[in-house]
Amino acid sequence: MTARSLKVLRGLALLAAVFAFGVVMFGAFVRLSNAGLSCPDWPTCYGRAAWPEQQHEIAQANQAFPDRPYETHKAWREQVHRFLAGTLGTLVLALALVASWRRPWARYAVIVGAICAAVGVAMYIKGEHHWSLWVSLAAIGLPLVAAIGLDRPGAWRISVLAFAVVVFQAMLGMWTVTLLLKPIVVMGHLMGGITTFALLAYAALRFAGVSASNDSYAGLRTAMVVGIVLLLAQIALGGWTSSNYAALACGTDFPKCLGQWAPPTDFREAFVLWRGIGVNYEGGVLDMAARSAIQITHRIGALVVFCYLAWLSHRVSRRGLRVHGLAIAVVLVTQVLLGISNVHFGLPLPVATLHNGVAALLLFTLLATLARTQKRHGDAMFLSYGHR
């Protein structure tokens, strides 16, 4: 691969990663402002490509969806989020094509996968949901196989893998609406966004040459991977808390819950992942004991992650990566303060949205440190992969 092609990959990966971060932030804003069902259909909004604006359009929307009256201040948020997600999908497709271009079989797998994704959406709009599902699964499977079989360094494979994740993320967005904010789907949609951002960010870091000159950080890499897994688990738990409307289950008390150290809880009911189809989960369906159990679990998880990442930042600094260690520590403390502020101030929308964004930034600091500990490819070898 020429230096120019590598520069294109680096630029595309960076642009897509930054854009993905913005989509994650806006998605959190939509979810936390209770606008997730403000467009009752998908991918249109009340049957329109954008959203109703004129009075006659609003009247038609209310007539077509009498169970979901049109809310002007919410519908635009959901549909703009879909537009942003679609733009991100286009960027990731371009990245995947460039990364796989010199391997014809992989390139065709990505192209056919993109065609299947488009056909799947069209079939869904026409009401052919069964066939849409199978075509969409092909749209995920083809680039996934290409990513696994691609004989190139990890950054190339990750770039192709990201496209498969984006297609699956689109399906989760559809199910979020059609399954009426089912918590497991909403949490999965959040994790899909975070995963997309993480893959693109790591690919951008590797394309930019972030690495180590030798393999002296093997032990630290293992510790970094453990930290990333713990953080992802805590983000998923945060998504479960949000999707079950349990963020204020303990009121505005911290560190106590409802004025008690051991309030009534129902952990068995709190973590039932599947409750059937047809239930509208908007506003939540759990009682306060179950929601309190979720909130307490989230707090315990936060304590575990805080302790581990605080130790990890110290260890990273002692290994000579002081900037990385300091970045982990600063973002970690910021995230904890935002979490406490969410409770203390009653979940204000700007703070809650920032809490999601800083979680993504904390993940990025860990990924950047992980990339910094990876052994560097020789420049000649790194550039030669496109010519083989």
Run of H or E including 309: helix 288-318
Q: How confident is the model at residue 1 (pLDDT cuts 50, 70, 90)?
A: low
Same domain, 137 and 184: yes
Same domain, 186 and 263: no
Residues 6+ apart with CB under 8 A from 52: 45, 46, 58, 60, 61, 70, 75
Same domain, 180 and 278: no
Same domain, 176 and 264: no
Same domain, 97 and 234: no
- Active-site annotation holder among 71, 78, 269, 282: 78
Range of the domain at 383: 216-388
Compute the average pLDDT of residues 163-174.
96
Same domain, 184 and 242: no
Both tokens of residue 264?
Answer: 């009534």
Looking at 175, 208, 241, the residue that finishes a domain is 208
Q: What tens digit of pLDDT does each residue of 213-224 get?
A: 677 788 899 999
Q: What tens digit of pLDDT does each residue of 248-299 get?
A: 999 999 999 999 999 999 999 999 999 888 889 999 999 999 999 999 999 9
Note if 78 is an active site residue.
yes
Amino acid letter at 241? T
Looking at 178, 208, 238, the residue that finishes a domain is 208
Same domain, 70 and 141: yes
Looking at 208, 235, 262, the residue that finishes a domain is 208
pTM of the model: 0.94
Same domain, 172 and 249: no
Both tokens of residue 174?
Answer: 């559809």
Residue 170's alpha-carbon distances to 27, 120, 193, in angstroms, are 13, 11, 10
* Domains contained in the chain, number: 2
Compute the average pLDDT of residues 357-380.
86
What is the spatial distance between Cα 150 and Cα 189, in angstroms, rounded to a whole number? 27
Residue 377 confidence (pLDDT): 62
Residue 4 confidence (pLDDT): 79
For the chain, the average pLDDT equals: 93
Same domain, 201 and 265: no
3-class secondary structure, 257 = strand
Same domain, 167 and 233: no
% of the chain at pLDDT higher than 90: 86
Same domain, 160 and 275: no
Same domain, 97 and 137: yes
Inform me whether the pLDDT recorded for 383 exceeds 70. Answer: no
